[in-house]
């Protein structure tokens, strides 16, 4: 027998023996690997080492259209040691945890409007924040007039669940006073207004065009010379361009009409007229990537990040098709946002760095 054939037999034998050994000890190996994962992940706090400044985490970049890779609308904003969240789409609270950001440290939530995909994850957001830090006060939820009814509904829906958890874990672990949320409504009499000032952070709400959804707002966060604007859902908006003037980072929703039109045609062809009507209708109250790029250019922002991506697509390979002519209209950096991205804007600097936490 040739030497090469002997070596092949030996290697085959080793492979078979290894496979049998793994099967025999699979439970023990699994327990050991699980222990390593637990030791590495439990109690992580990826915010602890961040420098003073603004830090923007994408905890949900999706839309109501099903997408396995994107949670519903959710953006984390950290200013100094304070953590706020803009919108609470389905899966957002889960992603915050997966990103190594403690839900128990969330100071408050800002809702842009009352479409379901921007608040259907509010229940887990309230729960994980309460249980994660033994909160003694409810989650503060800021929003335009109407947020009171939203919060009352969620509090009523979760009241029974809250009572079970208090009875099971005890009041020291889940203080009754910390369950649920408290509505912090504000009226939009003009185009914009300051809705929060705290420890050097200023949060400004501004009207956007999402008709027939009203009220609908976006938010600007300013902290120690750094600034980020979160558009909320909107068609191209002159108010947004004014409020976003010279911001470091603009986080803007985007819908690519060319791709959505192809979805509509396929739905019509399959006889799914109801869904096709919806995909036709959504074209008129969202901005295209090109329009968002125009707004970024007009406002003079430093960087443009897309979120609330419509339609869903399976990989980064499709980013150019989604962007269309946006890169020709805005010469700054453009990023198609993905769940788990974290953008850091250190105080006293002009830099914007990016990392992926998921």
Indicate which residues carry an active-site annotation.
117
Q: H/E/C letters for each residue in the chain?
A: CCHHHHHHHHHHHHHHHHHHHHHHCHHHHHHHHHHHHHHHHCCCCCCCCCCCEEEEEEEECCCCCCCCCCCCCEEEEEECCEEEEECCCCCHHHHHHHCCCCHHHEEEEECCCCCHHHCCCHHHHHHHHHHHHCCCCCEEEEEECCHHHHHHHHHHHHHHHHHHHHHHHCCCCCCHHHCCEEEEEECCCCCEEEEEEECCEEEEEEECCCCCCCCCEEEEEEECCEEEEECCCCCCCHHHHHHCCCCCEEEEEEECHHHHHHHHHHHHHCCCHHHHHHHHHHHHCCCCHHHHHHHHHHHCCCEEEEEEEECCCCCHHHHHHHHCCHHHHCCCEEEECCCCEEEEEECCCCCCEEEECC
Strand-pairing partners, residue 63, are: none
Give the pair of three-digit tokens for residue 256. Answer: 């690519």
What is the C-alpha separation between 169 and 131, in angstroms, rounded? 10
Q: Report the C-alpha dihedral over residues 304, 310, 312, 316, rounded to 10 degrees.
A: -20
Q: How many CA atoms lie within 13 A of 113 on its CB side?
A: 20
């Amino acid at each position: 027998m040739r030497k090469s054939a002997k070596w092949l037999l030996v290697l085959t034998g080793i492979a078979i023996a290894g496979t049998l050994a793994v099967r025999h000890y699979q439970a023990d190996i699994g327990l050991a690997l699980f222990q390593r994962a637990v030791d590495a992940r439990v109690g992580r706090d990826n915010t602890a080492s961040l420098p003073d400044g603004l830090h923007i985490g994408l905890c949900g970049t999706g839309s109501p259209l099903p997408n396995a890779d994107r949670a519903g609308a959710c953006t984390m904003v950290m200013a100094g040691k304070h953590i706020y969240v803009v919108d609470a789409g389905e899966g957002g609270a889960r992603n915050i945890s997966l990103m190594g950001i403690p839900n128990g440290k969330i100071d408050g939530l800002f809702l842009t409007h009352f479409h379901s995909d921007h608040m259907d994850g509010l229940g887990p957001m309230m729960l994980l924040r309460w249980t994660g830090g033994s909160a003694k006060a409810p989650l503060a939820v800021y929003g335009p007039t109407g947020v009171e009814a939203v919060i009352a509904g969620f509090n009523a829906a979760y009241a029974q669940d809250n009572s079970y958890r208090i009875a099971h874990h005890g009041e020291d672990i889940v203080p009754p006073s910390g369950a649920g949320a408290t509505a912090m409504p504000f009226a939009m009499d003009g185009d914009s207004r300051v809705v929060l000032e705290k420890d050097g952070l200023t949060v400004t709400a501004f009207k956007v065009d999402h008709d027939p959804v009203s009220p609908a707002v976006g938010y600007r966060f300013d902290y120690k010379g750094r600034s980020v604007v979160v558009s909320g859902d909107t068609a191209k908006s002159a108010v947004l361009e004014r409020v976003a003037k010279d911001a470091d980072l603009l986080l803007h929703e985007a819908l690519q009409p060319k791709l959505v039109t192809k979805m509509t045609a396929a739905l019509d062809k399959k006889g799914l007229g109801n869904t096709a009507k919806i995909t036709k209708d959504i074209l008129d109250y969202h901005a295209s990537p090109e329009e968002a790029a125009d707004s970024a250019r007009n406002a003079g922002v430093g960087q443009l990040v897309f979120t609330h991506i419509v339609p869903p697509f399976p990989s980064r390979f499709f980013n150019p098709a989604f962007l269309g002519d946006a890169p020709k209209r805005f010469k700054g950096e453009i990023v198609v946002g993905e769940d788990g991205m974290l953008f850091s804007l250190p105080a006293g600097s002009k830099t914007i760095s990016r990392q992926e936490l998921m």
